[in-house]
Structure 1
Amino acid sequence: MLDVFKTKFAAQGFTEPSPIQTAVAEPMAAGKSVLGLAPTGSGKTLAFTWPMLEMVRPGEGVQALILAPSQELAMQTTNVVRDWAQLVDAKVLAITGGANVKRQTEKLKKHPEVVVGTPGRVTNLIADGKLKLGHLKLMIVDEADELLTDETLDQIREILDATFAETLQLGFFSATETKILDELPRWFGQTVEKIDVRAIDQTQGVVRHRTMEVGNRQRVNLLKRISRVDRLRALVFFNKMQELQHVAVELRHQHVNYVALTSNQRQVEREKALRLFRQGKVELLLTTDLAARGLDVPELPAVINYQLPKDVTTYIHRSGRTGRMGAEGLVLTMGDDHDIRDFKKLMAETNYEIKPGYLVGYQIVDNKPDRVVPPLTFDHPEKAGEAANGRHRVGDAGHPDKVKRVAETNDQLVKPAKAEKAMPKKHKGHNKHSKKKGMRKKNRDRFGK
């Protein structure tokens, strides 16, 4: 590591590099292509940033390219790399879909040494002759298990065709291992050294993995109550955009503070949503797996699986958003009894210790309470004082619609007790229909009909 990097590293309060940062430093410095496997939140970005910046030379054009699966991750990576690149006078440029392509083209004329981008925008600029990679020395594929699939795999191979692939150094980084990561030499024609530190990495803090059984109709209400837990902010994951949009509408009607991060938003909207969430101005960030892949939210307290993850890999990436760099975290998985049963089967072969969790008051606890007495809430604040004096109670005939019971566990909402309504006095002739019927019978008796 360069001396200027060591000084900055120490100034940020770190004493030693993480396992992945230590393991890849020497092979990358020697020009070897590597596959780095490490848990989420273990410092993979800096693991490839330091060796990369050591090899770039200011003023010699684009020498390093970092590919990311989403705009948010690309911008996040850009900010990290730029912070260290200024120490060696290197320029870093982000080129992502959704941003102004003309502005990006103008910035490319300033010849940045490092480019961070999404595969689609990178291939488009190469095709238009705006991005030239003739001097490229290193290409990093971040979140490789996600990027090396289907269309993006083809785009990455197109990018390679625009370089001198015979001398290009490659770096692949991921938290999970997929089949294609074992076939990298066949796909890219290079020997790739596999470096796996997942078994020895202890950078993740203590993370509780809990399930909450709830019926589908009550799931939004449970999410609303969870948002009121003390000091809780959470990424809320959905499998389908349609369900995310439905829940967003329900939360808005219930005046819950949230933002959404989706792939169909404009970049300015996505940046605003992330900024508000990172600043702690909203409690919930609704998102999908693709939109939130690789996101780093410092000291994120919780992750909520509103819909079950489709596989173990998805769960690993979702849960990896919390408990990063030694912080504590919580992962909640919601579902009915069938969902929870299926989820436990899915996770049976993993090392995660998954237990039931319960919402009691404004805390999520591990022990199911014997009995919870729900507090009273009122439509009008002034009624609370009257209730304290015993003037209104659940069941009062005079004010049956003023009192509600709010359940504070993740069981079904307790319905308000119905007040017995006083029956009105019956007056003779009150029922006009009965009166007319009686008159008709009287006339039949009188006239013999």
Structure 2
Amino acid sequence: MSYFEQLGLAAPILKALNAAGYDKPTPIQEQAIPSLMQGRDLCGIAQTGTGKTAAFALPSLHHFATKPKPRQAKSCRMLVLSPTRELAAQIAESFRTYGKFLGLSVLCIFGGAPVFTQKKKLEGGVDILVATPGRLIDLIEQRALTLKDVEIFVLDEADQMMDMGFIHALRQIDKLLPKKRQSLFFSATMPKTIAELGNKFLDNPIRVSVAPQSTTAERVMQYVTFVEQREKQTLLTLRLQEEGIDRALVFTRTKHGADRVVRGLKGAGIEAAAIHGNKSQGQRTNALEQFRAGRIKILVATDIAARGIDVPGVSHVFNFELPNVPEQYVHRIGRTARAGAEGVAMSFVADDERAFLRDIERTTRVKPRILKLPEGFREAVASLPPPAKKSNNEMKREDGRGGPGRAGQNRRKSPANGGRGRNGDTRAQSRPPQGGWQPAAGPRDGAQGENDRRPAADNRGGKPNRSRNYRGKSGGGNRSSQGNRSAAKV
């Protein structure tokens, strides 16, 4: 008898687990599932890739299997909040896999997808709703959804929710949820702010932790190479040519940096794709599908993807630029060494990033091994092929750092009218000007690319730029205020 059978999970769930080849629980599942089946609130801490989704999905599905109820119009019985589109889609797919024989309806909603279609699917109600916060609030405000029937509420990756500035949205959602409910928090890290959030939203929770806070995966071999910023493209090209790469993720701090890396790799004959907040949902989905299928072996991403990509067989993670938040490093390298495999993490560190490296070493309590520059590196820098040309779409997405007249520079919708915003894959990149113009409330596909609205109280940008929506006949506009320029540097 398997562990899952011993738990007494409903027969349809066991059948689905057997079909998917699951027989042994992970530590987080072993510690969390029994308490969750008893209806307890839970605050779970586990490294990424340790099976957190199944830890909350299996007992929740058992609850629905043993306590069936008819669906209520424009409502759901379970709500799972995710910070990113990719992670939301991944969670929803896991629910469909584990609950395939239960006949439950699972809906995933996020920005970048047609809101009318999502409203249509909500009309008859759903059993399980997986959502990003911004689109969820938009649908509630449009009276397409109510949370009054929620029995189970899950907040996944709670610390990233805080990093992305969703605390106000979470408090708003909490007020709309029934007081009598089961609440679950799962996160890879648990800083003090998240613990305080848990104390507010959870009722007498049990705490489950399967790894020390902010530790890195034990099976990841970590290396660091000190190199000048302008030479990183050459170093990455050489490492990708030298290493036995199955699949590799390359992380940059900015969206434009990700595009530059892809162009550089393509110029050297290495096929790669980028995924970040400036990409349309179709482009992001297509890049992930090609990466997952192995048609593209190199995926360049901003931290928007650090927790939303669950692709087996990622052998290498390259930190083209170090993150300025140490915990983000943990999530980045957690994309490799999953499901018992081993992995390699290589970081390229310029002089101005050494402080970031020291913070990471203090947080993770791991000192990466130093790798010297490859032999003949200087000659390779001089002979590096030129990068591929920008595509038309990339030129249209330029953020105004050049002169007037650049294609698409000022034609993007304002956030108040559902536009994407400008620069950003972290909090600082979505801050509107302080003390001047503020966007009106309304649906917004934010700079993070997750559709998720940043409340005005969290916006602490630079000087006002009132000219962003004013253009003369010749176009061009002025988007060079100090507040806007700060975003490109994050």
With the length of structure 2 as denominator, give the TM-score of the two structures.
0.70
User: Matched residue of 1:332: which SS?
Assistant: strand
Instruction: Give identity over the alignment, percent.
Output: 31
Partner of 2:57 in structure 1?
49
**Per-residue deviation, 1:359:** 7.6
**Per-residue deviation, 1:330:** 0.6
C-alpha deviations, 1:180-210, integer Å up to 9, x for none? 222135532633322111159x996721101
Task: State yes or no: 1:36 paired with 2:50.
Answer: no
Alignment RMSD: 2.6
Uncovered stretches (5+) of structure 2, i.e. residues with no partner: 1-8, 384-490
Cα pair distance change 1:118/1:415, threshold 3 Å? closer
Contact preservation (8 Å) 1:58, 1:89? no
Q: Distance in 2 between matches of 1:30 and 1:44?
A: 18
**Per-residue deviation, 1:345:** 5.6
Q: Distance in 2 between matches of 1:151 and 1:209?
A: 30
C-alpha deviations, 1:363-422, integer Å up to 9, x for none? xxxxxxxxx5xxxxxxxxxxxxxxxxxxxxxxxxxxxxxxxxxx4xx6663768xxxxxx
Task: Give the number of equivalent residue pairs.
Answer: 368
Moved segments of 4+, more than 4 Å = 202-205
Task: State yes or no: 1:183 paired with 2:150.
Answer: no
- Superposed counterparts of 1:134-153, under 5 Å: 134-149=148-163, 151-153=165-167
Contact preservation (8 Å) 1:18, 1:203? no
Task: State yes or no: 1:63 paired with 2:74.
Answer: no
Q: Distance in 2 between matches of 1:110 and 1:25?
A: 30
Task: State yes or no: 1:257 paired with 2:268.
Answer: no
Contact preservation (8 Å) 2:17, 2:98? no
- Superposed counterparts of 1:4-15, under 5 Å: 4-15=12-23
Partner of 1:381 in structure 2?
none
**Per-residue deviation, 1:137:** 0.2
Task: State yes or no: 1:333 paired with 2:347.
Answer: yes
Q: Distance in 2 between matches of 1:295 and 1:205?
A: 20
Correspondent of 1:3 among 8, 11, 17: 11
C-alpha deviations, 1:22-54, integer Å up to 9, x for none? 111122122221111011100000000001111
**Per-residue deviation, 1:338:** 5.9
Cα pair distance change 1:411/1:67, threshold 3 Å? farther
Letter paired with 2:10: L
Uncovered stretches (5+) of structure 1, i.e. residues with no partner: 361-371, 373-406, 417-449
- Higher mean C-alpha deviation, range 291-300 or range 104-113: 291-300
Correspondent of 2:237 among 224, 230, 238: 224
Q: Distance in 2 between matches of 1:222 and 1:288?
A: 19
Q: Distance in 1 between matches of 2:129 and 2:382?
A: 58
- Superposed counterparts of 1:45-444, under 5 Å: 45-56=53-64, 57=68, 59-61=70-72, 62-149=76-163, 151-164=165-178, 166-184=179-197, 186-188=199-201, 190-199=203-212, 206-228=219-241, 229-336=243-350, 339=353, 343-344=357-358, 346-348=360-362, 350-357=364-371, 407=376, 413=380
The structure with the greater share of residues assigned to strand is 1
**Per-residue deviation, 1:343:** 1.4
Contact preservation (8 Å) 2:13, 2:102? no
C-alpha deviations, 1:345-364, integer Å up to 9, x for none? 6404534351023687xxxx
For the pair shown, which has the larger CA radius of gyration, 1 or 2? Answer: 1
Letter paired with 2:324: K
Cα pair distance change 1:189/1:53, threshold 3 Å? closer
Q: Distance in 2 between matches of 1:256 and 1:28?
A: 47
